[in-house]
Amino acid sequence: MSGTHAHPNYVKIWLWLVVLLVISTVGPMLEIPIITLITAFGIAVLKAFMVAANFMHLKFEKHIIWFMMIMSLILLGVFFFGVAPDIMQTEGDQWIDCISDNSCVEQRL
């Protein structure tokens, strides 16, 4: 860091996180699917950004740190969505449903 910076108001950030927590828990109680998705994922991303920017002091770092963090998240998404179709497949010649007949436990013993 090239200079000093003023510390953020941690109590104010904490209060915002508590308010967002209340909203994200009340949202699914409305039983509206789009509201549930917005409150579950949108607020989670917003809270993660607030924690990373303020409590991890990324707000005051150079832009290369943000670039590396975003690129790592993109790479994580590429890896996940690259293998998800193979891992989540539940049919095929090699698929064995060992959970229903408890043969998974016997194979590991």
Q: Rounded distance, CA 98 to CA 107, Å?
A: 9
Q: Tell me if 59 is assigned to some domain.
A: yes
Q: Tell me if 4 is assigned to some domain.
A: no
pLDDT of amino acid 69:
80
Q: Tell me if 1 is assigned to some domain.
A: no
Does the pLDDT value for residue 93 go beyond 60? Answer: yes
Retrieve residue 109's tokens. 């013993």
Q: Tell me if 76 is assigned to some domain.
A: yes
Q: Tell me if 3 is assigned to some domain.
A: no
Q: What ranges in 27-62 are assigned the alpha helix state H? A: 33-37, 43-50
Question: Mean pLDDT over residues 81-105, rounded?
Answer: 73
Length of the chain: 109
8 contacts: CB under 8 Å, gap ≥ 6: 54, 59
Retrieve residue 60's tokens. 């005051």
pLDDT of amino acid 13:
86
Q: Tell me if 94 is assigned to some domain.
A: yes
Question: Mean pLDDT over residues 56-74, rounded?
Answer: 79
Cβ pair 98, 104 in contact under 8 A = yes
Q: Residue 24 is part of which domain span?
A: 10-108
- The total domain count for the chain is 1
Does the pLDDT value for residue 1 go beyond 50? Answer: no
Question: Mean pLDDT over residues 20-38, rounded?
Answer: 84
